[in-house]
Amino acid sequence: MTSLPPCSVSAERGCSAGELAAWFGGDLSGDPERRGFGLAPLARAGERDIVFVANERHLAALGDSRAGIVLMGQDMMGPDASDLSRRSYVRVDNPHACFARLSTLLGTRRRFEPAIEPGAVIHPEAEVHPTARVCSGAWVGAGSRVGPDVYVGPGVFIGERVEIGGQGYLYPGCRILDEVRLGSEVILYPGAVVGGDGFGFAQDQGEWVKVEQLGTVIVGDRVEIGANSTVDRGALDDTVIGDGVKIDNLVHIAHNVTIGAHTAIAGCVGVAGSARIGSHCAIGGGAGILGHLEIADHVTILAMTLVTRSIREPGRYASGVPHQGARDWNRSLAALRRLGRREG
Amino acid sequence: MTSLPPCSVSAERGCSAGELAAWFGGDLSGDPERRGFGLAPLARAGERDIVFVANERHLAALGDSRAGIVLMGQDMMGPDASDLSRRSYVRVDNPHACFARLSTLLGTRRRFEPAIEPGAVIHPEAEVHPTARVCSGAWVGAGSRVGPDVYVGPGVFIGERVEIGGQGYLYPGCRILDEVRLGSEVILYPGAVVGGDGFGFAQDQGEWVKVEQLGTVIVGDRVEIGANSTVDRGALDDTVIGDGVKIDNLVHIAHNVTIGAHTAIAGCVGVAGSARIGSHCAIGGGAGILGHLEIADHVTILAMTLVTRSIREPGRYASGVPHQGARDWNRSLAALRRLGRREG
Amino acid sequence: MTSLPPCSVSAERGCSAGELAAWFGGDLSGDPERRGFGLAPLARAGERDIVFVANERHLAALGDSRAGIVLMGQDMMGPDASDLSRRSYVRVDNPHACFARLSTLLGTRRRFEPAIEPGAVIHPEAEVHPTARVCSGAWVGAGSRVGPDVYVGPGVFIGERVEIGGQGYLYPGCRILDEVRLGSEVILYPGAVVGGDGFGFAQDQGEWVKVEQLGTVIVGDRVEIGANSTVDRGALDDTVIGDGVKIDNLVHIAHNVTIGAHTAIAGCVGVAGSARIGSHCAIGGGAGILGHLEIADHVTILAMTLVTRSIREPGRYASGVPHQGARDWNRSLAALRRLGRREG
């Protein structure tokens, strides 16, 4: 579906059930001319809204919904005929992905008009594309380039010699430090920090001596970095975030980490220095990944797992411990300690 | 004690020992006219200060303190008579809660004069109550309403169509995105982000397609959200934080989570999407709560526990592992692995 | 090496191989007049660059490097003679520490000219040293003092009665709240928050009553606090961060914690209230330290360990669980639960 034909769907025009079916290669039941202008959850949807039903469990709730157009799976039980008088159905292979595509076309949250607002601080040696918007309180340093259709929110900081690719959206208060390069269609959420110094020190007679971090961060296309997440610049070489990588909130990526394309990292994960994570991986929330190791492509790490050595094979890996009642858990712990002593 | 009679205590007036005893329904020993104007720790207190003694252990340190008024428990050993010449004692049922109430009345940290400072950016279609203060570098978007006696610190971002209830205090650099609704007396600490996009993507041929997050965040009254914590907006429905909820620093609340009233969440906790946490719960630091599960009211989760399935009964739950010497711990781990293989 | 003689190395002058050998007390091979002006990784170095080789593994890559000067260990295998025609070698005891010292002298990342930029908000009762720089969008409150050679980046917030020692570097968007005191040569990274309220509440009939946090945060000399980390102010007494402490990103330090000198704390660590951590400790990423306990000097805590009680002896402590394949791990978990039941 990645290569869908272009379409003219927008929040103003909306789209008809027939257009949707054609666009997604789906099957239509009901009036092809019925139009939807927005997306909504089942319970809140009105007759100008499109809903999607991801699985059979939600079909019951559909009965009470006023939604005008329903996106659903090919394999799901169909509507009864009486329903078709008030809404149209489009059955597709991957309703969630279709809904996702639609959501961007119909959404209006990240629209803006080009402008340099008063109160924006732009260095005379920075280049801002005329189709970009730079809001009040944003700062763009010397030698930096802000590409076409980029939104730079209030309080965003862009250091020196930074490159921001086209169609980027920099939410208020994210910070991009010197020499960082962002690809196109990158979204940084509020408080994200890209290019802070890596945690690099040399030991010298019991004190830590700072090692200047000479690398930077290279971020691919269509990457998202969540609110208050941090990606450190490399010590000598660069930290590299591949195309299509999605990073949730409060994630820490240390210096010289590389993350392969289309890997997703859930909230509160920490990745230590020089770890190399493959493509198409999924890292569960709260996981920790030690430094200087490699994780193959297509690896799934479950929540709160500690990855301590390289993972060479695709598959699912875990070390998170499910909760028990506190008393039961204490018994398990005591038994484990005894076992360790006995067998040690 | 929640319904204490109104009182006229303030940092300027201070309060007398007699007033305190009457207000809290406590017992007085010593001069009822002795006045306190501030709160202090035992070691630093002067004769115009009020201290509180939470347990018997601290009574010894009291001897050297110059504090003029002492709040203590009804059940604690009393002062000797010689002490009463230099200070007054008020014995109450819950000295910590009394101290807390007093601390807000006598505190001056969050006082301010109403003003719109130069350098504040307020959209012409936003409404700011005349008793609010909006500091330089703050931003209030179209259609947003800032209630009475609200402080909006420097660098605070308030998006569009946001509602901020009365008596709110928005510390410098917190960010509140479009359509978020905060109740009254809400405190957001620096760097807190409310209403960032939930981490929602559809898989399509190995790539992640962004799903626009159409819901928002509804925050109740008297909620606190700690420094650099993040609360994501809902995917379709809303994320909901109940009245009186207290959230510490660096906590991540994902989309469509609901948290019941008066639940407290310690630092570094992550709560995954659509989890439903009950009222009066206490979640220990570093805990992780998986998505799409329910936790009953009055549940305590100990530090660094991973909650993997619904918890139906009040009580204490755990899976955190206490530290051992590294060698002992390695033995326990080796024994556990052998056990798994033997019994698997 | 802490007491190296002063030297005149700078990014403009660079330094010669002979100067380096003399300065570090190292052994020189090759031309003493060869000059280096910057540091670089082996692969990117040019003939005016200095590289360092930390261990034998990297010697192979050195062959292809164009670097002009090489810092390496005394104990490493030397270059062959043909190499000396194109570069000079300086052998030292601690090449990493030497590289670190050099990196600061040759680095230019944190240079600035003194200035108060337009758009900076400085209270008339604040004192800013004439050698400091305060950038646009920064804020300095009443009674605060900013020392010599301090950089206050865009969007930095400094509250009231704050002290910032000399040579400090406050990256864009860090926040320092009322009464906090920073020593000299302190670096705060973007989004760091120092002096937010501790998480202090009294229980009163099922509701949480806020306890005003009357202490502050005292930060020693040469401390670094990472991006989006948070250090809370004390409840009654102060939170104290010792000299030379290095704190990585997304670390949470609760109220009344004390951290001894030269302790390093990796990313995503949480330290609960009133914990006392010794000097020269190393706390691994994602570790959690409970409150009201003590950790001796020279203690190492491994990644994702939960410290639940005081540690009196130096050494290494752990409770993190290394990942396994998910199926193997489930078997281990099941065996552990059975064991707990059997022996409980």
Q: pLDDT tens digits, residue range C184-227?
A: 999 999 999 999 999 999 999 999 999 999 899 999 999 999 99
For residue C53, list its beta bridge partners: C72
Q: Residues of C numbered 97-136 whose beta carbons fall under 8 angstroms of chain B's beta carbons: which are they?
A: 119, 121
How many angstroms separate the Cα of C68 from the Cα of each of A213, A250, C73?
A: 20, 41, 17
User: What gap in Å lies between CA A139 and CA A278, rounded to an integer?
Assistant: 34
A250 contacts B199? CB cut-off 8 A: no
Chain A neighbours (≥3 Cβ pairs under 8 A) are B, C
Model confidence over A258-269: pLDDT tens digits?
Answer: 999 999 999 999
Task: Please give the single-letter amino acid code of residue A109.
Answer: R
C339 contacts B322? CB cut-off 8 A: no
C267 to chain A nearest CA, in Å? 7
B244 contacts C230? CB cut-off 8 A: no
> What pLDDT is attached to residue B344?
61
**Mean pLDDT, 10 residues at a time, over chain B (344 residues)?**
65 90 93 92 91 82 89 82 87 91 85 96 98 98 98 98 98 98 98 97 94 95 98 95 98 98 98 98 98 98 98 98 97 91 77
User: What gap in Å lies between CA C323 and CA C306, rounded to an integer?
Assistant: 17
**A203 interfaces chain C, CB cutoff of 8 Å:** yes
> What pLDDT is attached to residue B177?
98
**C193 vs B contacts (CB less than 8 Å):** 189-191, 227-228, 249
Which residue would you say has higher pLDDT here, A81 or C205? Answer: C205
Number of C-beta neighbours around residue B81 at 10 A = 9
Note the ipTM here.
0.95
> What pLDDT is attached to residue C34?
95
**B203 vs A contacts (CB less than 8 Å):** 94, 96-97
C272 contacts B303? CB cut-off 8 A: yes
> What pLDDT is attached to residue B76?
82
Which of A227, A315, A217, A226 lies closest to A259, judged by CA? A217
A161 to chain C nearest CA, in Å? 12
User: What gap in Å lies between CA B201 and CA C95, rounded to an integer?
Assistant: 47
Model confidence over C93-118: pLDDT tens digits?
Answer: 988 899 999 988 888 788 999 999 99
Average pLDDT of chain A to the nearest whole number: 93
pLDDT reading at C80 higher than 80:
no
Q: In chain A, which segments carry CATH 2.160.10.10?
A: 174-317
Cβ–Cβ under 8 Å, residues B221 and B239: no
Query: By CA distance, what is A153's nearest residue in B?
Result: B157
How many angstroms separate the Cα of A165 from the Cα of each of A123, A151, A180, A186?
A: 18, 11, 11, 8
pLDDT reading at A144 higher than 80:
yes
Model confidence over C269-321: pLDDT tens digits?
Answer: 999 999 999 999 999 999 999 999 999 999 999 999 999 999 999 999 999 99
A227 contacts B196? CB cut-off 8 A: yes
**B300 interfaces chain C, CB cutoff of 8 Å:** no
Backbone angles phi, psi at C113, to 5 degrees: -100, 145
User: What gap in Å lies between CA A293 and CA B228, rounded to an integer?
Assistant: 29
Which residue would you say has higher pLDDT here, C342 or A159? Answer: A159
**C107 vs A contacts (CB less than 8 Å):** 212, 214
Helix axes B95-106, B17-24, angle to 10 degrees: 120
> What pLDDT is attached to residue A104?
84
A63 to chain C nearest CA, in Å? 40
A58, A129, A255, A298: the catalytic one is A255
User: What gap in Å lies between CA C55 and CA B31, rounded to an integer?
Assistant: 74
**A262 interfaces chain B, CB cutoff of 8 Å:** yes
B50 to chain A nearest CA, in Å? 39
Residues 6+ apart with CB under 8 A from A32: A16, A17, A18, A21, A88
**A324 vs B contacts (CB less than 8 Å):** 317-319
**A11 interfaces chain C, CB cutoff of 8 Å:** no
How many angstroms separate the Cα of B237 from the Cα of each of B10, B38, B255?
A: 43, 46, 9
Residues 6+ apart with CB under 8 A from A74: A26, A27, A91, A92, A93
**B288 vs A contacts (CB less than 8 Å):** 268, 285-286, 303-304, 320
Query: Which tokens sit at C37?
Result: 């002006």
> What pLDDT is attached to residue B25?
92
> What pLDDT is attached to residue A11?
80
Model confidence over A284-337: pLDDT tens digits?
Answer: 999 999 999 999 999 999 999 999 999 999 999 999 999 999 999 999 999 999
Chain C neighbours (≥3 Cβ pairs under 8 A) are A, B
Query: By CA distance, what is B99's nearest residue in C?
Result: C211
**B206 vs A contacts (CB less than 8 Å):** 262, 280
pLDDT reading at A188 higher than 70:
yes
Helix axes B326-343, A326-343, angle to 10 degrees: 100
pLDDT reading at A96 higher than 70:
yes
pLDDT reading at C3 higher than 80:
no
> What pLDDT is attached to residue B63?
82
> What pLDDT is attached to residue A210?
95
B325 to chain A nearest CA, in Å? 12
> What pLDDT is attached to residue B181?
98
The class level of CATH for C174-317 reads mainly beta
**B221 interfaces chain C, CB cutoff of 8 Å:** no
**B216 interfaces chain A, CB cutoff of 8 Å:** no
C191 contacts B228? CB cut-off 8 A: yes
Measure CB to CB from residue A104 to each of B210, B228, B331 and give the nearest one: B210
A339 contacts C323? CB cut-off 8 A: no
**C244 interfaces chain A, CB cutoff of 8 Å:** yes
What is the CATH T-level fold of the domain B15-106, as seen in this structure?
Answer: 3.40.1390
> What pLDDT is attached to residue C344?
61
Active site residues of B: 255
Q: Residues of B numbered 15-74 whose beta carbons fall under 8 angstroms of chain C's beta carbons: which are they?
A: 39-41, 43-44
Residues 6+ apart with CB under 8 A from C50: C20, C36, C38, C39, C40, C67, C68, C69, C70, C71, C99, C102, C106
C301 contacts B323? CB cut-off 8 A: yes
> What pLDDT is attached to residue B5?
65
